[in-house]
C-alpha cells in the first residue's frame, strides 16, 4: 500500500510577489533534503510546492509514516584491551557496552585474521514521522533565502511575513505540534472576500479541491495559464494584441488568488507621449498589460488589468481601473513635457555631477571616454566617425531626465526620442537608443554600425575601468554586470561587420582611461582572458564542442567573425574522412617539435631533403602556399581545409619512411623545420592536436 501525502501550509499576510517562486522552491528542496536525510521515503517526482499571495504550501507525495528499522554491526575494542589480567572489563569495554546500551556480559566476540574483538549487532527502531517532522521544518524555514525577515507581536521568531494559520497533515491525520507560535491543524483560509473560511481539509490529497471551492486557485501554473488566456482573449476583443511580459505575468500571478481579467481604456490624448513611457507606467506602477495594434505594433488606448475577485459588476471594477491609470499616465506626460522644455545637449554638463565609480570619475568623464573610443573604432573600421563620436558623447544624457529618473529601464530609449527632437541625425539618435543593446541573453543587437560601435565602447570602458580598479566578478557577485558586458561585447563583435580585433579594442580602451587610471599590462591580460572565457562559454552554447572551441582559440585570435568562420569550417571538416588522421598527425608533429625545442626560422634547405617522401611533402606544401594564403585572406577556411586534407597521404608516407631525429644535426634541423612549416599552415585555422 502507498503511504499518505504530507501537507504543509503556512498562511501569511500578503507575501512579496517577486520572492514567492524562489521561496517555494527553496522550501520544497529543503524539506526533500530533510526527508532524505531522515530516511523517510517519499515520491520526489510527485511532490510539489504551491504558492499564492497568502500562503506557501507543500504537498509531499507518499511520505512514510516512520523510518525503517536499522540493523547495525558495531565492532568494539580488541578483547586483549577489553579485559585486564583478572578478567575484569576495562574502561574501553565498558564504554563500548554503554554506547550500544548493553552490559559487557551481553556482548559477542568477533574473530578475524587480525585478532579477536568485542562485537554487537544493534537493532535500532525507526522513529515516527511525527517525532521527526517539526525539527526538520524548523531547520528548513530557518534556511530560507529571506533578505529582511519580520517579527510580529512579542514573538522571538521571524518570517518573511506574519503567519496567521498553519496546516500540517499526513493523510487525514493532523501532525500535532507548534510552528511560528501556532498549533498545527487542518483548517485553511479561502479567498479574503468570497470565502474567507475557515475551511476544513479532510485529507492532504484534497488540498487543491478544498481551496478551489473557496475561490483560491492554489496551483500557480494554472493561475498563470488562466491569466494568460484571459489577457490574450481580451487583447483580441480590443482590436489588437496584448503585450505579455513574462516577468509581469509572473508577478501578477503572485498577486491574485482568483484571477479575472478586465479590459479598460484611457484617453487617446496620452498617445502623444512615447509608447515606451506609457507602457513602463502601466507595467511598473499598475501591473497592467498594454495592448498594441496587430498591424504596426502601435500602442492602443486600451489596457488589461487582472482583478482578484469574482464581481457582480465588472463594469464598476473596470471604471475603477480606468480611474487609477489616468494619474499615472498623466505623470508620464508631465515628465515628457518637462524634459522637452530644455535641449537634450544642455543636459551634458549635469553628467559631471553623477558618479559612475569613485576611481573612474563621473558619468561625464565616462561620456568623454566613450566619445574617444567610439571615434577611434570608427576611424579604424571605416564607419562615420563624426556620428560615432557625437552619439557616444550624448548617449548618457537621458540619465538626468525626469522620465528616466522615474523609469530607469527607459535609459537609451528616451535618449533616442530626446536626441531626435533636439535635432540630432537619425543615425545618431538610433545609436543613442541602441547603445544598451543587447541588454540580456537573446536580446536584439544595435541596428547600425554606429550603434554597435557606441555599444562596444560603453562595454569596453566598463570592463577596462572596473578591472583597473581591482574589482572582479566573484561567484554570484558581479555588481557592475561585467559578465553581461563581456557577453554583449562578444555578440556584437561576432555578428557585426566591424573589422577590428579584440586586442586592438582593449588597447584603445586602455588609452582612453590612462589619464584617470593607468591599466597595467597584467590587468589587460587578465581582462583579455576574462572575455575569452565568456567567449568559450558562448560558443559552446551555440553547439560547438569544447575541444573544437579550444582548438580554434589556440590559433591566433584576430577578429571574432574570423574565429566564427574558422569554427564553422572546422565543424564541417571534422566529418571529412581524413580529419582524424590529420588531427593525429598534428598532435604527433606538435610533440616532436616540443621535445626538440626548435625555434622555427623557416629556413628549409632543399639540398638536405634526401628521401623521396620528405621531398614530396616539401613540394606539395610549397605548391599550396599561394592558394592557401588567398583562402586565408578571404576567410574561406572550408576551401583551405580541403586543400590541407589533400596532404594526408604525403604526411602518412613521410612518417612511414622518414626518421625525423636523424643523427646528422643539419638533416634533423631541416626535417624539423619542414614539420614546423606544415604545422604552421594548420595552426592558421586551429590547433588540431586539441580536437578530441
Residue range 437-461: mean pLDDT, rounded? 94
DSSP class per residue in 92-136: HHHHHHHHTT--GGG-EEEEETTEEEEEEEEEEPPPBHHHHHHHH
pLDDT at 646: 86
Q: With both helix axes pointing from N to C terminus, report the angle between 363-381 and 449-468 in degrees, rounded to the nearest 10.
A: 130
Span 530-581, pLDDT tens digits = 999 999 999 999 999 999 999 999 988 889 999 999 999 999 888 887 788 8
Q: Which of 338, 451, 446 is nearest to 394 (CA)?
A: 451
- Grid-cell match 555599444, residue found: 455
Calculate what percentage of the chain has a pLDDT beyond 90.
Answer: 68
**If we measure between CA atoms, which residue out of 602, 608, 611 comes closest to residue 674?**
602
Is 300 in contact with 437 (CB distance < 8 Å)? no
- pLDDT of 225 higher than 70: yes
Cell of 462: 566598463
Model pLDDT, residue 100: 82
Cα gap 83→108, rounded to integer Å:
14
Helix axes 426-434, 413-421, angle to 10 degrees: 160
Question: Helices H, strands E: what count in the chain?
Answer: 25, 18
Among the residue ranges 411-420, 483-492, 604-613, the one predicted with the least confidence is 604-613
Residue 260 CA, distance from chain mean position: 33
- Looking at residue 443, what DSSP letter applies? P
User: Residue 65 burial (CB < 10 Å; 0-12/13-18/19+)?
Assistant: middle
d(CA 49, CA 247): 20
- Provide φ and ψ at 165, rounded to 5°: -150, 160
How do residues 266-275 score in pLDDT, each as one tens digit?
A: 999 999 999 9
Percent of the chain, pLDDT > 70? 99
Helix/strand/coil (H/E/C) assignment for every residue in 296-326: CCCEEEEEEEEECCCCCCHHHHHHHHHHHHH
Name the residue with higher pLDDT: 605 or 426: 426
What pLDDT does residue 595 have?
84
Buried b (16+ CB within 10 A) or exposed e, 229-243: ebbbebbeebebbbb
Residue 113: burial class (beta carbons within 10 Å; 0-12, 13-18, 19+): exposed
Q: How far is CA 633 from CA 132, 422, 573, 621, 628, in A?
A: 71, 44, 19, 18, 9
Question: Within 10 A of 526 (CB to CB), how many other CB atoms are there?
Answer: 13
Average pLDDT, integer, range 316-320: 95
Question: What is the pLDDT at residue 3?
Answer: 92
Q: Please report which confidence band the pLDDT of residue 1 belongs to, taking 50, 70 and 90 as the band edges.
A: low
Are 255 and 288 contacting, i.e. CB atoms less than 8 angstroms apart? no
C-alpha pair distances (Å), 433 with each of 281, 311, 416, 438, 490: 19, 43, 5, 11, 20
Cβ contact 90:84 at 8 Å: yes
Which grid cell sits at 616? 614530396
Task: Compute the average pLDDT of residues 297-318.
Answer: 94
Q: Bridge-partner residues for 163, per DSSP?
A: 12
Structural domains in the chain plus CATH codes: 6-66+128-213 (no CATH), 70-124 (no CATH), 220-339 (no CATH), 345-542 (1.10.3210), 564-690 (1.10.730.10)
8 Å CB contact between 59 and 36? no
Q: Does the reported pTM lie above 0.85?
A: no
How far apart, in whole angstroms, are the C-alpha atoms of residue 292 and residue 571? 43
Which position has the higher pLDDT, 597 or 68?
68
CA 373-562-538 angle, to 5 degrees, is: 80
pLDDT value for 642: 87
Assess whether the previous peptide bond of 18 is cis (omega < 30° from 0).
no
pLDDT at 151: 93
Mean pLDDT of 627-647: 89
Question: Given strand 289-293, what is the order of strands in its sheet?
Answer: 240-242, 289-293, 299-307, 260-265
Residues 86, 546: Cα–Cα separation, whole Å: 71
Name 106's Cβ contacts closer than 8 Å, sequence gap at least 6: 97, 120
Reported as a single tens digit per residue, the pLDDT across 139-189 is 999 999 998 999 998 888 999 999 999 999 999 999 999 999 999 999 999
Q: What is the mean pLDDT of the chain?
A: 92
The phi-psi region of residue 101 (left if phi > 0; otherwise alpha if psi is between -120 and 50; otherwise beta) is: left
Per DSSP (E only), the strands in 329-425 are: 355-357, 361-362
Instruction: Check whether 601 has a pLDDT greater than 70.
Output: no
Cell triple for residue 35? 526527508
Residue 86: alpha-carbon gap to chain centroid:
71
> Per-residue pLDDT tens for 257-299?
999 999 999 999 999 999 999 999 999 999 999 999 998 899 9
Is residue 300 within 8 A of residue 274, CB to CB? The reply is: no
Q: Specify the pairing of strand 115-124 against strand 70-78.
A: antiparallel
Q: For 360-397, how does the pLDDT look when each residue is reduced to its tens digit (9 = 90+)? A: 999 999 999 999 999 999 999 999 999 999 999 999 99
- Locate the DSSP E strands across 397-437: none
SS3 634: coil
Q: In the 8-state DSSP scheme, what is residue 664?
A: S
What does the pLDDT read at residue 600?
65
602 pLDDT more than 70? no
pLDDT of residue 546: 93
Amino acid at each position: 500500500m502507498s503511504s499518505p501525502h504530507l501537507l504543509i501550509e503556512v498562511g501569511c499576510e500578503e507575501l512579496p510577489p517577486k520572492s514567492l517562486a524562489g521561496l517555494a522552491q527553496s522550501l520544497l528542496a529543503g524539506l526533500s533534503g530533510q526527508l532524505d536525510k531522515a530516511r523517510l521515503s517519499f515520491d520526489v517526482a510527485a511532490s510539489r510546492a504551491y504558492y499564492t499571495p497568502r500562503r506557501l504550501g507543500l504537498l509531499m507525495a507518499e511520505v512514510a509514516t516512520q523510518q525503517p528499522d536499522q540493523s547495525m554491526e558495531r565492532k568494539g575494542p580488541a578483547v586483549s584491551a577489553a579485559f585486564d589480567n583478572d578478567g575484569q572489563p576495562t574502561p574501553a569495554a565498558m564504554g563500548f557496552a554503554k554506547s550500544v546500551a548493553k552490559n559487557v556480559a551481553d556482548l559477542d566476540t568477533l574473530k578475524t585474521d587480525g585478532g579477536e574483538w568485542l562485537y554487537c549487532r544493534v537493532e535500532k527502531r525507526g522513529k515516527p514521522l511525527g517525532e521527526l517532522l517539526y525539527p526538520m521544518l524548523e531547520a528548513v524555514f530557518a534556511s530560507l533565502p529571506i533578505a529582511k525577515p519580520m517579527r510580529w507581536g512579542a514573538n522571538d521568531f521571524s518570517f518573511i511575513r506574519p503567519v496567521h494559520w498553519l496546516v500540517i497533515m499526513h493523510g487525514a491525520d493532523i501532525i500535532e505540534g507548534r510552528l511560528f507560535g501556532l498549533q498545527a491543524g487542518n483548517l485553511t483560509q479561502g479567498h479574503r472576500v468570497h470565502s474567507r473560511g475557515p475551511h476544513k481539509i479532510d485529507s492532504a490529497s484534497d488540498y487543491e479541491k478544498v481551496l478551489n471551492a473557496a475561490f483560491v486557485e492554489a496551483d500557480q501554473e494554472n493561475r498563470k495559464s488562466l491569466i494568460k488566456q484571459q489577457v490574450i482573449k481580451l487583447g483580441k476583443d480590443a482590436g489588437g494584441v496584448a503585450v505579455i511580459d513574462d516577468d509581469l505575468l509572473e508577478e501578477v500571478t503572485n498577486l491574485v488568488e482568483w484571477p479575472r481579467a478586465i479590459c479598460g481604456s484611457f484617453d487617446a490624448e496620452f498617445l502623444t507621449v512615447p509608447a515606451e513611457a506609457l507602457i513602463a507606467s502601466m507595467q511598473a506602477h499598475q501591473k497592467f498589460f498594454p495592448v498594441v495594434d496587430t498591424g504596426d505594433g502601435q500602442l492602443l488606448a486600451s489596457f488589461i488589468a487582472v482583478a482578484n475577485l469574482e464581481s457582480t459588476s465588472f463594469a464598476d471594477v473596470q471604471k475603477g481601473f480606468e480611474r487609477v491609470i489616468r494619474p499615472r499616465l498623466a505623470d508620464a506626460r508631465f515628465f515628457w513635457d518637462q524634459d522637452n522644455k530644455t535641449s537634450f545637449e544642455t543636459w551634458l554638463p549635469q553628467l559631471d555631477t553623477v558618479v559612475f565609480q569613485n576611481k573612474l570619475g563621473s558619468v561625464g568623464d565616462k561620456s568623454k571616454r566613450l566619445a574617444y573610443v567610439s571615434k577611434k573604432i570608427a576611424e579604424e573600421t571605416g564607419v562615420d566617425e563624426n556620428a560615432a563620436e557625437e552619439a557616444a558623447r550624448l548617449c548618457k544624457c537621458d540619465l538626468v531626465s525626469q522620465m528616466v529618473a522615474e523609469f530607469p529601464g527607459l535609459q537609451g530609449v528616451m535618449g533616442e526620442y530626446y536626441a531626435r527632437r533636439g535635432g540630432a541625425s537619425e543615425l545618431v539618435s538610433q545609436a543613442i537608443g541602441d547603445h544598451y543593446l543587447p541588454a540580456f541573453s537573446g536580446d536584439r543587437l544595435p541596428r547600425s554600425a554606429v550603434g554597435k560601435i557606441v555599444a562596444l565602447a560603453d562595454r569596453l570602458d566598463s570592463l577596462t575601468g572596473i578591472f583597473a580598479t581591482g574589482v572582479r566578478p566573484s561567484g554570484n557577485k558581479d555588481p557592475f554586470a561585467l559578465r553581461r558586458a563581456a557577453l554583449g561585447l562578444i555578440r556584437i563583435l561576432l555578428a557585426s561587420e566591424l573589422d577590428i580585433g579584440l586586442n586592438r579594442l582593449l588597447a584603445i580602451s586602455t588609452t582612453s582611461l590612462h589619464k584617470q587610471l593607468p591599466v597595467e599590462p597584467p590587468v589587460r591580460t587578465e581582462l583579455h582572458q576574462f572575455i575569452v572565457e565568456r567567449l568559450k562559454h558562448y560558443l559552446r552554447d551555440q553547439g560547438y564542442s569544447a575541444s573544437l572551441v579550444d582548438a580554434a582559440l589556440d590559433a591566433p585570435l584576430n577578429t571574432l567573425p574570423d574565429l566564427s568562420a574558422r569554427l564553422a569550417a572546422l565543424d564541417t571538416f571534422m566529418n571529412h574522412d581524413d580529419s582524424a588522421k590529420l588531427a593525429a598527425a598534428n598532435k604527433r608533429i606538435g610533440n616532436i617539435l616540443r621535445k626538440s625545442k626548435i625555434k622555427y626560422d623557416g629556413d628549409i634547405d632543399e639540398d638536405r631533403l634526401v628521401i623521396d617522401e620528405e621531398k614530396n611533402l616539401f613540394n606539395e606544401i610549397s605548391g599550396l602556399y599561394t592558394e592557401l594564403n588567398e583562402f586565408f585572406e578571404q576567410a574561406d577556411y572550408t576551401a583551405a581545409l580541403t586543400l590541407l586534407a589533400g596532404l594526408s597521404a604525403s604526411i602518412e608516407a613521410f612518417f612511414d619512411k622518414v626518421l625525423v631525429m636523424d643523427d646528422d644535426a643539419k638533416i634533423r634541423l631541416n626535417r624539423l623545420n619542414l614539420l614546423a612549416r606544415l604545422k604552421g599552415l594548420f595552426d592558421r585555422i586551429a590547433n588540431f592536436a586539441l580536437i578530441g
